[in-house]
Every structure is written in structure tokens, then in C-alpha cells.
Amino acid sequence: MRAVAIAIVATVVALPALADETPVRLKQVAGVDKVEANCQACHSLSYIPMNSVFLNAAGWDAEVTKMIKAFGAPIDENDAKAIADYLKTNYGT
């Protein structure tokens, strides 16, 4: 009986991991290639629309700077500007 209970609990815990996750599709405009190439190397692109309700232009600039300076994202200056511009234009408040 105990083994059955453990199997049921394990199944319930594992089910969310088996669920299909809908891929995030960002707005397909200039700069999306830089965002997809650089940002999703470290985290899901779902963070972009999820955080867009909180971030204005200055907030996106700060996020891009934080990713580079605090977290060490290897993004060159030109790509960083393109990423910030894309985020501010398409996902800013």
C-alpha cells in the first residue's frame, strides 16, 4: 500500500514537467534576432512579455545593463543597444 501511495505522489509531482509548454513567440520586428540569440542563451524568452507590464524604457535599459554587468552576459555593445531598443519599443509600458 505504501508503494502505491508513493507512486501516486511521484506521478502527481512529475505531471507538470510532462506538460506541453507553448513556445514564446516574440514580436517579429527589427532586433528580435539579437534578443533571441542573446537572451535565451541564459533564460526563457517568456520573461520578456511577463516583465513588460512592469518595465518602461529606463527599466529595460537597466535590465540589459544588469544582465551584462551583474550576470556576465557576453553581449557586445551594438547588440546590447539593439536588444534594449527592441524591448523598449515592443515591450515597454
Give the number of domains in the chain. Answer: 1
84: containing domain = 24-91
Establish if 15 belongs to a structural domain: no
Establish if 7 belongs to a structural domain: no
**pLDDT digits 0-9 by tens, 67-82:** 999 999 999 999 999 9
**pLDDT digits 0-9 by tens, 51-64:** 999 999 999 999 99
Establish if 29 belongs to a structural domain: yes
Establish if 68 belongs to a structural domain: yes
pTM: 0.76
Establish if 14 belongs to a structural domain: no
Establish if 81 belongs to a structural domain: yes
Residues near 53 by beta carbon (within 8 Å), at least 6 away in sequence: 93
Q: Residues 40-43: contacts with CB within 8 Å, 24+ apart?
A: 41/73, 42/67, 42/71, 42/73
Q: For the domain that residue 60 is a member of, what is the CATH number?
A: 1.10.760.10
Round to whole Å and give the CA distance between 12 and 31. Answer: 41
CB-CB contact of 86 with 30 (8 Å): yes
CB-CB contact of 26 with 2 (8 Å): no
Establish if 17 belongs to a structural domain: no
